[in-house]
């Protein structure tokens, strides 16, 4: 088979597998695929971050008016959790598509579904206009968002990892991992000026819809980018015969790899709690319980997210050089120790201290999560890799992140101190530490099997 690439070909398209191309061509192809995967992931996580921020700021009174601010906020956070509950459905649906029909197709469809759901939220009537129909539609669209996210992460990191040149798998897989903080930053870049222009009352009344509706343009860009991504060469080589995925990949995964599935979930549990408590729950808790200005909390989390992006590549390079486990173990131990001062900094109400504490916390989080993009897929064979990577990550994010705002709301209602958030997140990080210790090093795994 001859090797052909050209500037007019779709992004990353090559007529040969990476094993038969020269190193320069493989590196160029892998870079373009990784960046294309990142763009789509940023858009999906922008949509998700916009919803999380809106839930913390306005969705409670707009869709769940109760006369009690805590109950309304709790109801809004329940819709956040609902999307996480729906993510395992996305794992089943998109995992089967990704393992049987291709990573590219699953990613494209997940972005279409996310776009429909996000724009739909921006067009919804509120409870005042439509009554009980409004929250029912909100929950339905939120569930669709969750299903979409169930297929997003696994496909994005797999396309990047399975195109990566030898010895650089963690690096290329980590590039889509920058999608969540970049999506959060993009959402903040839209929400902060919208808040400033419309004011808090105007934002709560109508301007909260703007970030959702702006997603239309982003989705169009994302679909164009994803239409140009090449299929994974590993999938192309192993999509037939004995190497083909079973009819129901999730069932095969549970039967054949139950231990790795559970330990993989535990490995990602602590980092998920740290990230979602910092970027979702604190946006509501800081202003409502501690009187911290909303702009201060948004600024603090945005600076921390920017630091998250900045250290992702250096951390991934360390994981390629020293192994996945040493880097993740250092991150888990650091997060377990830092969780208490990180969230305790909220008690000071000092914007600079909060920003510094959150920045250190999310840098430690990256040490846990940047290598995870290569580590979790490396735990499973190619025929089950989309489902295996997605299932471990999504279940961890659901349990550790999706329910974090609900658990945190309950904890802070009984113990009126932000230190309780640190105890909760720190305990989950210790669980992750133990699970990573129990799993093998995967840096040298043959990714073609």
- Predicted confidence (pLDDT) per residue in 79-100, tens digit: 877 887 888 899 989 988 988 8
14 pLDDT band (50/70/90 cuts)? Answer: very low
Count of beta carbons in the 10 Å neighbourhood of residue 127: 17
pTM of the shown model:
0.79
Above 50 in pLDDT, residue 152? yes
Place of tokens 């909303």: 294
- To the nearest 10°, report the CA torsion of 83, 85, 89, 95: 90
Average pLDDT over residues 150-159: 84
Question: In this structure, what CATH number is given to the domain that contains residue 122?
Answer: 1.20.1250.20
Share of the chain above pLDDT 90, in %: 39
What domain range includes position 189? 26-233+247-438
| Tally of structural domains, the chain | 1
Instruction: Give the separation between CA 99 and CA 71, rounded to whole angstroms.
Output: 42
Count of beta carbons in the 10 Å neighbourhood of residue 200: 13
Is residue 204 exposed (0-12), middle (13-18) or buried (19+ Cβ within 10 Å)? Answer: middle
Tell which wins on pLDDT, 447 or 373.
373
Quick check: is 279 in a domain?
Answer: yes
HSE of 390 in the Cβ direction (CA atoms, 13 Å)? Answer: 39
Above 70 in pLDDT, residue 241? no
Quick check: is 446 in a domain?
Answer: no
Collapse the DSSP code of 380 into the 3-class scheme (helix H, G, I; strand E, B; otherwise coil) and give the result: coil
How many residues appear in the chain? Answer: 449
Above 90 in pLDDT, residue 40? no
Average pLDDT over residues 332-347: 96
Tell which wins on pLDDT, 318 or 1.
318
Phi, psi of 400 (to 5 degrees): -85, -30
| Strands, E assignment, 323-407 | none
Instruction: Return the top range by mean pLDDT from 111-125, 142-156, 252-266.
Output: 252-266
Q: Which residues contact 71 (CB under 8 A, 6 or more apart)?
A: 64
Above 50 in pLDDT, residue 238? yes
State residue 3's pLDDT score: 37
160 pLDDT band (50/70/90 cuts)? Answer: confident
Quick check: is 70 in a domain?
Answer: yes
Per-chain mean pLDDT for the chain: 85
Instruction: Give the separation between CA 395 and CA 8, rounded to whole angstroms.
Output: 40
Per-residue DSSP letter, 238: S
Share of the chain above pLDDT 70, in %: 91
Quick check: is 79 in a domain?
Answer: yes
State residue 327's pLDDT score: 97
Above 80 in pLDDT, residue 22? no
Average pLDDT over residues 432-441: 96
CA angle at 56 for the pair 83 and 107, rounded to the nearest 5°: 35
Please choose, from the candidates 61, 72, 68, 48, the residue with its C-alpha nearest in 3D space to the C-alpha of residue 141.
Answer: 48
Count of beta carbons in the 10 Å neighbourhood of residue 167: 11
Sign of the C-alpha dihedral computed for residues 63, 68, 70 and 74 taken in this order: negative
Quick check: is 4 in a domain?
Answer: no
Task: Tell me if 150 sits within 8 A of 87, measured CB to CB.
Answer: yes
Quick check: is 280 in a domain?
Answer: yes
Instruction: Give the separation between CA 122 and CA 46, rounded to whole angstroms.
Output: 14
Place of tokens 């809004």: 76
Place of tokens 């702006």: 214
State residue 427's pLDDT score: 96
Least confident of 103-112, 225-234, 274-283, 423-432: 225-234
Q: Which residues contact 61 (CB under 8 A, 6 or more apart)?
A: 69, 72, 204
Instruction: Give the separation between CA 241 and CA 156, rounded to whole angstroms.
Output: 25
Quick check: is 38 in a domain?
Answer: yes
Helices (H), 123-231: 127-130, 133-163, 169-177, 179-202, 209-227
Please choose, from the candidates 441, 410, 417, 185, the residue with its C-alpha nearest in 3D space to the C-alpha of residue 320.
Answer: 441
What region, left, alpha or beta, does residue 199 occupy, with left being phi > 0 and alpha being psi -120 to 50 degrees? left
Q: How far is CA 134 from the centre of its chain?
A: 27
Instruction: Give the separation between CA 398 and CA 83, rounded to whole angstroms.
Output: 9
Least confident of 181-190, 327-336, 342-351, 436-445: 181-190
């Amino acid at each position: 088979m001859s090797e052909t690439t050209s500037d007019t070909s779709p992004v990353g398209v090559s007529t040969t597998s990476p094993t038969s191309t020269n190193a320069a061509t493989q590196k160029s192809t892998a870079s373009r695929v990784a960046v294309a995967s990142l763009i789509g992931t940023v858009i999906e996580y922008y949509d998700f971050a916009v919803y999380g921020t809106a839930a913390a700021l306005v969705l409670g009174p707009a869709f769940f008016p109760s006369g009690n601010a805590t109950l309304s906020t709790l109801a809004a956070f329940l819709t956040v959790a609902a999307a996480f509950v729906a993510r395992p459905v996305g794992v089943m649906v998109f995992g089967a598509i990704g393992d049987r029909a291709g990573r590219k197709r699953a990613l494209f469809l997940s972005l279409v579904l996310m776009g429909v759901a996000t724009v739909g939220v921006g067009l919804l009537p509120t409870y005042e206009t439509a009554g009980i129909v409004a929250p029912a539609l909100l929950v339905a669209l939120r569930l669709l968002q969750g299903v979409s996210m169930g297929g997003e992460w696994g496909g994005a990191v797999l396309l990047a990892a399975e195109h990566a040149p030898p010895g650089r798998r963690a690096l290329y897989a980590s590039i889509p991992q920058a999608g969540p903080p970049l999506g959060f930053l993009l959402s903040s870049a839209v929400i902060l000026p919208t808040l400033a222009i419309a004011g808090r009352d105007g934002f709560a009344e109508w301007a909260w819809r703007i970030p959702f509706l702006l997603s239309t343009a982003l989705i169009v860009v994302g679909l164009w980018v994803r239409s140009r991504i090449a299929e994974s060469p590993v999938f192309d080589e192993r999509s037939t015969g004995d190497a083909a995925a079973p009819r129901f990949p999730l069932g095969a995964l549970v039967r054949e790899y139950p231990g790795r599935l559970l330990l993989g979930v535990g490995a990602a549990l602590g980092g998920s709690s740290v990230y979602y408590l910092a970027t979702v729950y604190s946006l509501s808790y800081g202003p409502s319980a501690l009187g911290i200005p909303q702009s201060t909390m948004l600024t603090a989390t945005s600076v921390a997210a920017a630091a998250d992006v900045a250290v992702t590549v250096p951390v991934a390079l360390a994981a390629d050089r020293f192994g996945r486990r040493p880097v993740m173990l250092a991150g888990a131990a650091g997060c377990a120790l830092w969780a208490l001062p990180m969230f305790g900094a909220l008690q000071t109400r000092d914007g600079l201290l909060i920003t510094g504490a959150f920045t250190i916390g999310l840098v430690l989080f990256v040490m846990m999560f940047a290598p995870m993009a290569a580590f979790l897929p490396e735990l499973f064979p190619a025929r089950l890799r989309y489902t295996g990577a997605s299932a471990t990550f999504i279940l961890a994010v659901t349990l550790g992140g999706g329910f974090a705002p609900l658990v945190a709301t309950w904890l802070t209602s009984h113990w009126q101190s932000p230190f309780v958030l640190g105890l909760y997140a720190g305990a989950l990080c210790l669980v992750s530490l133990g699970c990573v210790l129990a799993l093998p090093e995967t840096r040298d795994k043959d990714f073609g099997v």
